[in-house]
Amino acid sequence: MQQIINFLIKYKNTLLFLLLLFISLVFTVQSHSYHKSKFINSANSLTGGVYNWANDVDEYFNLKEYNDRLVEENKVLRAKLGIQQSKDSDTIFQDTASFDSPYQFTSAKVIRNQYANVDNYILINKGKKDSIKSDLGVITSRGIVGIVEESTNGFSRVISILNSNSSISVQLKNTNHFGSLVWNGHDPNTVQLEEVPRLAPVKKGDTITTDGRSFIFPKGIPVGIVNDFELDQNESYYKINVRLFNDMTNVGYVYVINNKNIEEIKTLAPNE
């Protein structure tokens, strides 16, 4: 017994080092696997508060850019509205059930954005109080941003598409061939599209949009365009570099999409 205590006293520094190292490595391994990093999480009131405060200063520098984006988005929406109105005038279409979209949009502000690491996260200033929960899609007017991972009362943490754990199902706009969108950790403006079958007619400049298969994003949200592509080594799948429409280094304001039918869909397809 005496010897054990002596041993502990003699090697207390090394033992403490090993213990703390073990803890930090556990956190590290957790952070490298999807949906596991619960403890070390910036969506809490302390870090969220600090980032919120810093963002209040920071956002003034980007106001002009955000204004331009809003004007651009308004233009697109007005054009769509115009199409709708011209249809209404010569068709009678009175089915009130179809007016209720299954998707509910919540606007939020990005208060911390990362894009230089391999695993990037985005912090937004809306949380459970605004009924934002995990597994909701996040987009901007230009394209997709990521998926909500964790939310606390006032803040939510979003897994950016620039994250090695992120994998989002997307499709070629023209032909409906789908694949999954991943990131190799290099260029924040380019992501990789994998598992597109060889039969798909891929051309440079083709538009990539979300397919509605995951039920997180509605079908047809723009993602980016094909920058270049090559056939994989086993020659059956394409590996495509996609240039994002979104500038992931300057996101600004986002919309969180809540699919109100998701519970119902989950009971039908529990594995999705």
Q: Which residues bind another protein (CB under 8 A)?
A: 12-13, 16-17, 20-21, 23-32, 37, 40-42, 44, 46-47, 50-51, 54, 114-119, 121, 123, 157, 185, 188
Q: Which residue has the tokens 């003699």?
A: 10
Nearer to another protein by C-beta: 116 or 268? 116
CB of residue 25 to another protein, shortest distance in Å: 6
All residues at 6 or more sequence positions from 222 whose CB lies less than 8 Å from its CB, including other chains: 142, 143, 144, 207, 208, 209, 245
Output the CA torsion sign for 178, 184, 162, 228.
Answer: negative
Nearer to another protein by C-beta: 117 or 236? 117
Strands 103-113 and 253-259: antiparallel
CB of residue 20 to another protein, shortest distance in Å: 5
Please say whether the beta carbons of 209 and 171 come within 8 A: yes
Nearer to another protein by C-beta: 23 or 79? 23
Q: Which residue has the tokens 């365009």?
A: 225
Nearer to another protein by C-beta: 12 or 260? 12
CB of residue 28 to another protein, shortest distance in Å: 4
Strands 144-151 and 103-113: unpaired
CB of residue 229 to another protein, shortest distance in Å: 22
Nearer to another protein by C-beta: 128 or 186? 186
**DSSP E strand boundaries for the chain:** 103-113, 119-124, 137-139, 144-151, 156-163, 168-172, 178-182, 190-197, 207-210, 222-231, 237-244, 253-259
Question: Which among 245, 249, 246, 252 is positioned nearest to 63, based on CA atoms?
Answer: 252
CA distance 145 to 210: 12
CB of residue 45 to another protein, shortest distance in Å: 12
CB of residue 145 to another protein, shortest distance in Å: 15
Exposed e or buried b per residue across 39-70, where buried means at least 16 C-beta atoms within 10 angstroms of its C-beta? eebbbeeeebeebbeebeeeeeeeeeeeeebe
Nearer to another protein by C-beta: 48 or 222? 48
CB of residue 78 to another protein, shortest distance in Å: 36
Nearer to another protein by C-beta: 129 or 186? 186
